[in-house]
Amino acid sequence: MKIEYENLIKDFNENFKSINNLNLSKSNKKYNSFFVVAPPRGGSTFFQQILISFTKIGFISNLMALFWNKPELGAVLQKIFLKHENFMSNFHSTYGNTDGIFEPHEWGYFWRKWLDIPNKDCFYNKKSSIQWKQLNNKLNLIKDIFELPVIFDTPYVNTYFREFYKNAHLAKYIFIFRCPYDVCNSICNARIKRFNNIKSFYSSKPKDYKFLQNLDNPIEEVIAQVYKIFMEMLDFKNILLKRDYIVLKYEDLFVSSEKILKKMIKFTTNDLSMFSEKKKTLKQNSIESFSTNYKNKNKIIFFDKKYKKEFDFYFKRYFKNFDYKKI
C-alpha cells in the first residue's frame, strides 16, 4: 500500500496540468522569504512550530509538501483549510519528522529538484544548474497565494548559502544555534537509535564532505561534521547585513520562551495580534508544557559512557578555540 501511495503522489506531481492555468489577482505587495539556518539536532522544527502557532505566517505543511512539484495546488489547499487563528502545533517531532496534516515539513523533494541535487544523500552538488529566475518566481507565487511571508526550514541553505545570498529574492535568515557539545552528543545518539550503528552517517552534511570521508573514527566524524556546519553558518552570518538576520539560541527557550517567540514574530511578521489573543493560553500553560517531551529536550544525557573519553578528546581538538557564548 505504501508503494502504491508513493507512486500515486509521484504520478500526480508529474502529470497534473491544470494548475499551470492558475490566475491570481495582481498585487504590488511583496513578501519576504525567511530561511532557517541551523545545525542538525538544533531544534529548528520546534522553533518553527512555536512561530506558526502564534503568528500568521506561511509555511510548508505536511499537506503542502505532498505537492512538491505542484506547490501552487498545495498552497491553495492549505490556504483554504488552515485557519491560523485556531491552529496550535502539537509540538511533536521525531528526528525532524512531524505528525499532523498542518505540521511543518522540510520539503526535501522540492529543494532537491530546484537546487539540482541528485539524491537525498547529497547536500551540495558542485555541478548544480539552478534556474534562479524560475525558482524565485515559484517562491513568489507561493507567497502571493498565501498573501503572507513564508518561512522555509531546509538544511540545503547551509551548503548553498552563497548561492542564496546572491540570488534569492527578498530573503531573510533565522539562525538557530545550539551548544555544539550537545549537538554532537545528539547526533551520536541518533545514529544508534535510528540505525543501531554508531558508524552510520546521520543528517545533513557540510559542503566540505570529502574531508569527513577521510576520517575513520565515527566519533571524530560526527564532531568534524558539526564543526564544519557551525563554521559554514558563521561564514554565512558574517556576510549578511544585520537587518537581514536574527540569531536565536536553543538554550534560551528554557530561560524565556515567550521572549524568543516575540523576537521571532517581530522579525518575521511583526504581527502580535494572534500572540496577544493566545497569550491567555500561555498564562495557563507555558509553551514548554504543550509538548509531552519538551521537558526532556534539553536534559543532556551522554549517549554512551564508553565513548566519553574519545568524544571529549575530539571535541576539544575541534572546538578548543570556539566560544559559543560569543555567538
Indicate whether 12 belongs to any domain: no
pTM for the model stands at 0.91
Indicate whether 283 belongs to any domain: yes
Indicate whether 10 belongs to any domain: no
Residue 213 is part of a domain; what is its CATH number?
Answer: 3.40.50.300
Indicate whether 26 belongs to any domain: no
For residue 313, the enclosing domain spans 31-292+300-326
Indicate whether 217 belongs to any domain: yes
The tens place of each residue's pLDDT in the chain, 327 residues long, gives: 455 556 656 666 666 665 555 665 556 789 999 999 999 999 999 999 999 999 999 999 999 999 999 999 999 999 999 999 999 999 889 988 999 999 999 999 999 999 999 999 999 999 999 999 999 999 999 999 999 999 999 999 999 999 999 999 999 999 999 999 999 999 999 999 999 999 999 999 999 888 888 899 999 999 999 999 999 999 999 999 999 999 999 999 878 888 999 999 999 999 999 998 887 766 555 555 554 444 555 567 899 999 999 999 999 999 999 999 999
Tally the domains of the chain.
1
Query: What is the C-alpha separation between 275 and 271, in angstroms, rounded?
Result: 8
Indicate whether 23 belongs to any domain: no
Indicate whether 19 belongs to any domain: no
Indicate whether 321 belongs to any domain: yes
